[in-house]
Each structure stands twice: as structure tokens, then as C-alpha cells.
Amino acid sequence: MTIEWRYTVEQDLGILSVSGFLGPNAVHRFAGAVGWVLGRGAGPVIVDLTELRSWSTEGRSAITEAARRLAAAGRSPELVAIPADGSLLPDVDCQPIPVHADLAGALAPHSTRWGEPPEGRHERRTTGWPTGDDAGE
């Protein structure tokens, strides 16, 4: 089992959503998705883990490393749906990263409404990410 990802750009805000199991075999794919995000766009990036079923120790480390990479590139990372124990928070060497319980809470400060297709919205995803037509199957 691996992950699927979707990257959506709304105005100057990027949303990287991840689903599946972020284990040792999926870390490289996740790092590639983060690299893809870094190569496209500017502005803050919300890493949405709402659809992530579970993760391993390597997966947690990959998420922390992604937050560092985004911050180092000036992309202001924000995390959604991390464990309540804070085990995914970067260590003290990294600047504080906003953490949100859900995507709506993450979008609120950016004046962006999820689900309403605004002009300028662009989306890329892996082939296994469910579309609106097959999300309920």
C-alpha cells in the first residue's frame, strides 16, 4: 500500500492532500510530491493529512522533513490533521508551523473556501486519487 496525492492551487495558496499509508515504501513518493510542489507556485502550502489512513515512523519523519523543505524555500507550511500528541511537529531548530484540526480551519485565515471552484484554481493529482465521479465508490 502506498499514498496518493493531490495538489491544488487557489490564488497564491497551495494545498497538498495525501491519502493512503505513508510507510517506508511511500516516503520517496511523498518526497517527490513535495518536490513537485516546490517547483510550482509560491506562497503558503497547506499539507492536508485528513485522508491519510496511517503512517510509520519513517512517514512521520517525512512529513517533518517536508515542513522543513517548504519553510526553507519560503513556502510557509501549515499542517492539517496531525496526531493530537504533536508527534509530527518539527523540533526546536525549525520555526513554528501552524497546525489545524481540519482543512476548513486552515483555509479560514486565507479567505479561501474549499469546494467552490474559483477562477484560477488548478489541480494535479496522482492517477489513484478519487475524482468527484468516483469518490463514493
* Global pTM value: 0.79
Per-residue pLDDT tens over the stretch 57-104: 899 889 989 988 999 999 989 999 886 555 555 554 666 788 888 998
Please check whether residue 32 lies inside any domain of the structure.
yes
Domain count, the chain: 1
Please check whether residue 136 lies inside any domain of the structure.
no
Please check whether residue 125 lies inside any domain of the structure.
no
Range of the domain at 40: 3-115
Q: How far is CA 135 from CA 78, 129, 132, in A?
A: 25, 9, 5
Q: What is the CATH number of the domain that holds 45?
A: 3.30.750.24
Position 46 pLDDT exceeds 90: yes
Please check whether residue 20 lies inside any domain of the structure.
yes
Please check whether residue 45 lies inside any domain of the structure.
yes
Helix count (H) and strand count (E) of the chain? 3, 6
Please check whether residue 109 lies inside any domain of the structure.
yes
CA–CA separation, 74 vs 22, rounded Å?
25
Pick the closest to residue 112 from 42, 37, 15, 40 (CA basis): 15
